[in-house]
A and B are shown apart, each in its own frame.
Chain A
């Protein structure tokens, strides 16, 4: 309820600024115009198709990021040597915004799908590596000891104790990586080719269709916060509670 009210106020301020005519209407459309564009875009399916395109890239990239990230995380957690070498490399790579890789990606994969997905993968991977390795390294030694006194095999010790104990970190990693992939995707689509949300945003700019640009921005923001709010945040909370880590 508070949020709806707040949104209402934001739209009202927007309307007021529009009425003040600081910028011409073509550059600063009214909420109503944007609403109309949004509605029409969804009705005729053009926004939905772009959304589908974007989501396909996102899911593929995200999937790779999780798998590669988790595997690298396990490798780093496995030895001090790996942590000092591979671990510090990952920390360095994490500080590079993944879009910086796009020129290279275009050279390697051509100006297409693969280049953008590559950027998305890099966007989510490093964070996942760090969360996975932290999770594995921080498993309470007491739990490992307890398991060992119950005649557990090495294999089960890893899959039945280490991995479950690391799940809170893994979930946090998944949640953050999703957000990073989403950002990387948008950056990639703005600069790359294809027919995703980012590309029709650019296309709107070239057409001078600010109403369309703002519509797409709204879709991006809504989707980002919805996926976090509906899927990831509740999942994370549930896991933290179950693992007895929730701060209540």
Chain B
């Protein structure tokens, strides 16, 4: 269980003033839950994920995992970043073995574990390949294998499929769901894509912006595989979109000034509910 307790975070800006990025973030993630953070870019999703991973410190509040507050990063929380953060000088196998070497297990066990997870993400054929020889989707799969191989209780994913094309993303959605069902890890998944959140999550935490705060938490009450519940999911997407509309409008007004008018029923992102990475 992850308890996110009253997180407040601000960054010093160049002009010396403080920018409040997260305000009063407070919710609990259950064991084995798949939970998404959804919100427009710049609302502080990555910052919250970094705080949970321990890479960043909150100004106040704390993260409590299974009863004890976290202190810095740890291998109980695996992280997958938007850009696969693979080490370019290591091949896929060596990348996956990288973290295992800190665990004090035998070389043969390291090898075995690494190969097992490489197989799980269907990269066995490419285990000797270097990151620059792989496609974006393959790199992301290697990064997922690397995170899974450490056998963390919690998987933190920051827009892991954001930079991929639609087909690759759909395939990885499928694979991720399979892995999640198999391993029952707790997954905290950051996205700005409504459909992605609805497809994958048990619950969706919708963020508002300026400062980042929780607007509403939605529960996705649909059995898996989700493809069978199209009507319900579409309706949920619309409900979420209504909540976000206000936030998107706020961001647009900020960027474009008074020229911007939010027109009902003419959403440019309607087809796939992607709010776009630029907003």
Contact = CB atoms under 8 A, between A and B. Distances in A.
Interface of A: 140, 142-143, 145-153, 156, 160-161, 164-165, 167, 241-245
A149 B75 contact: yes
18 contacts: A140-B85, A145-B79, A145-B81, A145-B85, A146-B85, A148-B55, A148-B73, A149-B54, A149-B55, A149-B74, A150-B98, A151-B75, A151-B150, A152-B102, A160-B98, A165-B89, A243-B132, A244-B88
Contacts of A149: 53-55, 73-75, 77-79
Given A150-B75, A150-B102, A156-B102, A143 B85 contact: yes
Interface of B: 53-55, 72-75, 77-79, 81, 83, 85, 87-89, 98-99, 102-103, 130-132, 146, 150
A169 B81 CA distance: 25
A242 B102 contact: no
Best-surrounded residue of A151, A156, A160, A165 (most CB of chain B within 10 A): A151
Contacts of A142: 81, 83, 85
Given A146-B79, A149-B74, A245-B88, 10 more contacts: A142-B85, A145-B79, A149-B77, A149-B79, A151-B99, A151-B102, A165-B89, A242-B89, A242-B130, A243-B132
Contacts of B75: 149-151
The 6 closest A-B pairs by CB, nearest first: A244-B132, A150-B99, A151-B75, A146-B85, A149-B79, A148-B73
A143 B98 contact: no
A152 B73 CA distance: 9
Contacts of B132: 241, 243-244
Nearest to A149: B79
Contacts of A140: 85
DSSP class of A's interface residues: helix, strand, loop or mixed? helix
A241 B87 CA distance: 14
A116 B99 CA distance: 48
DSSP class of B's interface residues: helix, strand, loop or mixed? loop
Nearest to B134: A244
B77 A243 contact: no
Nearest to B72: A148
B102 A164 contact: no
Contact of A167 (B53, B89, B130, B150): B89
Contact of B103 (A151, A164, A241, A243): A151
Given A151-B102, A152-B102, A146 B81 contact: yes
A151 B74 contact: yes
Nearest to B130: A242
A177 B159 CA distance: 43
Contacts of A143: 85, 87
Contact of A242 (B77, B85, B88): B88
Contacts of B54: 148-149
Nearest to B55: A145
A149 B83 CA distance: 15
A167 to B, nearest CB: 7
A145 B158 CA distance: 13
A164 B55 contact: no
Best-surrounded residue of B74, B87, B130 (most CB of chain A within 10 A): B87
Contacts of A243: 88-89, 132
Contacts of B89: 164-165, 167, 242-243
A144 to B, nearest CB: 9
Given A151-B74, A153-B102, A242-B130, A164 B85 contact: no
A160 B100 CA distance: 13
B79 A244 contact: no
Contacts of B78: 149-150
Contacts of B81: 142, 145-146
B184 to A, nearest CB: 20
Contacts of A241: 132
Nearest to B83: A142
Contacts of A146: 79, 81, 85
A89 to B, nearest CB: 29
Nearest to A248: B132
A146 B96 CA distance: 12
A151 to B, nearest CB: 4
Contacts of A167: 89
Nearest to A148: B73
B47 to A, nearest CB: 13
Nearest to A147: B98
A162 to B, nearest CB: 11
B87 A161 contact: yes
